[in-house]
Structure 1
């Protein structure tokens, strides 16, 4: 009788361990998917905004170059002045902006990746769901 009870406890422990491992694996799959999609969506948003910002900057730059060229009565001078301005801006960014940009990106994406509130909710939901529901939700 004691042997049967021990055997039942071992079977239950094995079953619970298997369920825990499967639930943990499902949680990590969902977490990786969530974080990768957030990154992809963030990248797409930045790419779209940057594209339109660069197109606008191009037209503004050409307009400013034309205005400078007309005021100096030399069209090419306006383009060279605008080009020199962008070279100076590039050199300033290259020299001084590496650390602030790196810090800003690390802060933003670490908050996104390590959102503890979302993780606790997901874990609680995954642990309290029946085994069959978890299996069905994955497939």
Structure 2
């Protein structure tokens, strides 16, 4: 009966080791999900804050530039039209480079996500 007892003990040890492995794997993945979620949320939060402040700053700079160009050409409306055209040109440029921008964003996010 010693052989059967040895097999029984070995199988019980294997079961215990398997249960410990599953428990530690479950805890690891919970921590990994929490880490990725917190990194993602902080990235979104920082991006929203920085983008909001940048938009406010860019608005003031655009208005100042429009008034400056308007005073240079002695027509404020033309200054605003020129600044609007500059923004339109930037929008078209961003549209043409959208695939490159998407690839850049995805590669940066994947580096952070799969750390």
TM-score, normalised by the number of residues in structure 1: 0.76
The number of aligned residues is: 114
**Per-residue CA distance 1:82-128 (angstroms, 9 max, x = gap):** 111101110111012x222222222222222222xxxxxxxxxxxxx
Consecutive unaligned residues in structure 2, runs of 5 or more: none
**What is the Cα deviation at residue 4 of structure 1?**
1.4
Match of 2:102 in 1: 102
SS of 1:29's equivalent in the other structure is: helix
Greater RCO between the two (CA within 8 Å, min separation 6)? Answer: 1
Match of 1:9 in 2: 10
Cα distance in 1, alignment partners of residues 94 and 113 from structure 2? 27
Cα distance in 1, alignment partners of residues 96 and 112 from structure 2? 29
- Residues 1-139 of structure 1: matches in 2 within 5 Å? 1-96=2-97, 98-115=98-115
SS of 1:91's equivalent in the other structure is: helix
TM-score, normalised by the number of residues in structure 2: 0.90
**What is the Cα deviation at residue 35 of structure 1?**
1.1
Q: Which runs of 4+ in 1 moved over 3 A?
A: none
**What is the Cα deviation at residue 11 of structure 1?**
1.2
Consecutive unaligned residues in structure 1, runs of 5 or more: 116-139
